[in-house]
Structure 1
Amino acid sequence: MDIILFLIFFAATCGAAATGMLFPTGEWYKSLNKPDWVPPDWVFPVAWTSIYLLISFAGARVAGLEGSAYAMAFWGMQIAFNALWTPVFFGLRALRKSLPVMACLWVAVLGCTITHFQLDLWAGLAFVPYLIWVTVAAALNLSVARLNPDQEPLEISSI
């Protein structure tokens, strides 16, 4: 694995992670109705840090391989939707509007998992926890949207 490639992929994940710092959960999120199975708050940074390290590793393993075009396209797609989801859900507080973003993220992570497995076993395995986590996150997103049907998104002009 090329360490420079790893650092480039890790920088991309840090960019996506920055949206979490720009749009923290805050009191608004705490006040929402959530399902009983929502993970404790401490799980989220642990999960995301682990996932970002794993997918940086996976990207670096396959980026230089012949035939990696689809894997890299899916990698770029997943990090873009990853970065977009937080501002839509937490920034705009658009619970229902964040669902299509989450669906696109899930498809992109599935595409990454499949295409990385086709190129390198370890890279494919590195995406499995992410696919599981995004599946849980999608279910949580849907549950929170259903449990808070009257939650209106913020008006962009009020931000």
Structure 2
Amino acid sequence: MTTAPVAHRPTWWGLIPFAAAVTVAALLGVLGVSGTSAEYQTLEQPSWAPPSWLFGPVWTILYAMIAVAGWLVWRRTGWNRALSVYALQLALNAIWTPIFFGAGQYGLALLDIAMLWLLIGTTIALFRPISRTAAWLLVPYWAWVSFATALNAAIWSAN
């Protein structure tokens, strides 16, 4: 009995665990952290800081793209080193909000997001030879985290 090539993994069913993983990351980021919008408003912020209502829609789109990117790589290779790095960056993503808002540790949150930024770049580099589409799907995420890193640094400095 032979097994089907990895590239023929079931198309849509495989997306479910990736959607679940990013949903868990998002929920871990907000569970137990209430009033983040109100807290964000009370922080000393740079003039270029976006309004708090923008974060939800942006992250919803980014999380969908993150899930699809992981799924595209998994469809081609199964679980591999690239997806392990992907999982690690998702874990760092999940803990940023509790560190920043829940604990009010802006410096530690900056360290977390800087490591997240590096791991997203690494994930993109590892995904590129497997699926250019997957790699490109992570570029807006990397750009947003770049912006968020600068915002985190400015807030840490001002508060």
TM-score range, shorter chain: 0.7 to 0.9
Q: Hey, what does 1:40 align to over in structure 2?
A: 51
Q: Secondary structure at the match of 2:13?
A: helix
Match of residue 22 from structure 1: 32
For the 8 Å contact 2:22–2:63, the answer to whether it is kept is yes
The CA distance in 2 between the partners of 1:113 and 1:126, in whole Å, is: 9
Q: Which amino acid aligns with 2:30?
A: G
Report percent identity of matched pairs: 32
Q: Distance in 2 between matches of 1:123 and 1:104?
A: 21
Separation (CA, whole Å) in 1 of partners of 2:37 and 2:52 = 12
Q: How many residues align?
A: 148
Q: Aligned pair 1:75/2:86, yes or no?
A: yes
**How far is the alpha carbon of 1:116 from its aligned partner?**
1.3
Q: Does residue 1:2 correspond to 2:27, yes or no?
A: no
Structure 1 residue identity aligned to 2:137: A
Give 1:66 shift: 3.4
2:58 is equivalent to residue 58 of structure 1: no
Q: 1:53 to 1:26 in 2, by over 3 A?
A: closer
Point out the more displaced range, 133-142 or 66-75: 66-75
Give the drift of 1:26: 4.2
State the secondary structure of the residue aligned to 2:75: coil
Distance in 2, matches of 1:67 and 1:28, equals: 41
1:44-77 per-residue CA deviation (whole Å, 9 max, x = no partner) reads 1111111111111111111132386222011101
Query: Once the two structures are superposed, what CA deviation does each residue of 1:4-39 show, in whole Å capped at 9, x if it has no partner?
Result: 221111111111111224313143332110011011
Does residue 13 of the first structure (1) align with residue 25 of the second (2)? Answer: no
Partner of 1:155: none
Letter of the 2:90 partner, please give it: I
Give me the TM-score of the superposition, normalised by structure 2: 0.86
SS of the equivalent of 1:2 reads coil
Separation (CA, whole Å) in 2 of partners of 1:61 and 1:15: 19
Q: 5+ unaligned residues in a row in structure 2: which ranges?
A: 1-9
Match of 1:141 in 2: 152
Corresponding position of 1:112:
123
Decide whether the 8 Å contact of 2:96 with 2:112 is kept in 1. yes
Match in the other structure for 2:3: none
Q: Partner amino acid for 2:18? A: F
Q: Structure 1 stretch 99-108 or stretch 64-73: which is displaced more? A: 64-73
RMSD of the alignment, in Å? 1.6
